[in-house]
Amino acid sequence: MSAAPAASPWLWPSPTVRLRETAFLACSNLRRCMIAHVKSGEADGYPKTEDLVDEETLLSNLDRAIKEEDYARAAKIRDDLRILHEDAKASLLAANARFYNAFKNGDIAAMYSIWAKGDHVYVIHPAAGRISSYDVVMQSWEMVCNADYEFPLNIDLKNIEVHIRGSLGYVTCLEVVKTKGRTWGKQIATNIFEKVDGTWLMCVHHASHIEE
């Protein structure tokens, strides 16, 4: 599919920030049909995350151990919590990396596998409105991946921060996108993931363009 003509009113006003113009064009049509390289692993000698109980149970056990003045057990539980947090962050960063690898390569098959299934997922492309539900979100990414861009894109992520609470986690970062020596603009992105059957899946991607 060819990129939309420059005269379209949905294009970004500046030609240097046109990375997702095709998806933006799709928003008006899609909204009519809507209602409304890190591998998760363990360091040598550390137990696998699956062998650890969940965070809530560990915190409860830690509180009990402290009340019982069983400090050796409390120290062991703190170690288990640290391992759980470190592995969760590593696996969440791996999921975030898979998303950007699919994005930069225009790999729609990979993009399909990265997102959670359901009506609760949504994407907000720069300068576009909210696109909700799995099928419609995937339609917007199909238009991005099928656009007349020179893949692979060069996407440099800066200021990455990771936060996890139970089965929900999010990554915030600055996207710096270039291709063939040309800067395509910067976006502030928030990527929210949920853990489904032990795998982090994306449920929200919100990118907002910032002026340089």
* Domains of the chain in sequence order: 15-40+85-210 (3.10.450.50)
pLDDT at 83: 75
Mean pLDDT, rounded, of the chain: 77
| Gap between the Cα atoms of 142 and 151, Å rounded | 14
Which residue has 């997702």 as its token pair? 20
21, pLDDT greater than 50: no
Instruction: Report yes or no: 143 and 128 within 8 Å, Cβ to Cβ.
Output: no
**pLDDT for residue 93 is more than 60:** yes
- Which residues on neighbouring strands pair with residue 173, listed in sequence order? 189
Residue with tokens 């089965």: 167
As a whole number of angstroms, the distance between CA 117 and CA 111 comes to 12
pTM recorded for the entire structure: 0.69
What is the mean pLDDT of the segment spanning 78-88?
A: 77
pLDDT of residue 181: 64
**pLDDT value for 40:** 34
According to the model, what pLDDT value does residue 73 have? 83
Span 49-70, mean pLDDT? 72
